[in-house]
A and B are shown apart, each in its own frame.
Chain A
Amino acid sequence: DTAVSQTPKYLVTQMGNDKSIKCEQNLGHDTMYWYKQDSKKFLKIMFSYNNKELIINETVPNRFSPKSPDKAHLNLHINSLELGDSAVYFCASSRPGTGSYEQYFGPGTRLTVT
């Protein structure tokens, strides 16, 4: 029983392409997140949705567009990929409010832009 799943696990693409990453959680959580982890393992939040509503939108290029079709799914679409977008992207989920310190992470999507 996978709690938070992401597809694909690996993504290799060329500069300028558009790609999407999908995330699903079966924990019944209301809140979902996208994080980016760079090559130095620095993990930084990008977006958060609570019940399909965007609640965190960090300083991220507008080439990145999240979408939450329902509270169990959160997708990330990236336009015009750049070399600097190469990283591991993690999806996470949590209960809202005081429970949000405990976030459940997916296995990550390793994106390589060539």
Chain B
Amino acid sequence: QKEVEQDPGPLSVPEGAIVSLNCTYSNSAFQYFMWYRQYSRKGPELLMYTYSSGNKEDGRFTAQVDKSSKYISLFIRDSQPSDSATYLCAQRPSGNTGKLIFGQGTTLQVKP
């Protein structure tokens, strides 16, 4: 079992839809929870991070963490074609080595 799991998709939605991307993890030691976005043929870039259970909102994006069930979600409101990318869930365990554990990523396509 991988430490961080995501459904690879692809997920195809019409423009304007609400998108829900999900991630589960197995290691209770994870402290930081991140979503990275990766456009085709580019490096990943940090989209959002949180270190506690609950919701965090940033514009059209909301990250939700439920540590009790080890479940993480990313919601995208009013999705745009420019949101088409692969979304990677990542966790960082305790300690300061900077090691990030990534999920496989979910590929999202938003159709105009």
Contacts and interface: CB of A to CB of B under 8 A. Distances in A.
Contacts, number: 69
A113 to B, nearest CB: 19
A105 B44 contact: yes
A86 interface: no
Interface stretch (B19-27, B59-67, B99-107): B99-107
Contacts of B96: 96-98, 100
A44 interface: yes
Nearest to B32: A101
A101 B43 contact: no
Nearest to B92: A101
Nearest to B43: A105
**Interface band, chain B:** 20 to 34
A41 to B, nearest CB: 5
A43 B41 CA distance: 14
Contacts of B44: 43, 90, 105
A107 B8 CA distance: 22
B18 interface: no
Interface of A: 4, 31, 33, 40-45, 48, 50, 55-56, 90, 92, 94, 96-98, 100-108
Given A43-B88, A101-B32, 18 more contacts: A4-B43, A41-B38, A43-B102, A44-B102, A48-B98, A48-B99, A55-B97, A56-B98, A90-B43, A100-B96, A100-B98, A101-B46, A101-B100, A102-B46, A103-B98, A106-B43, A107-B43, A108-B41
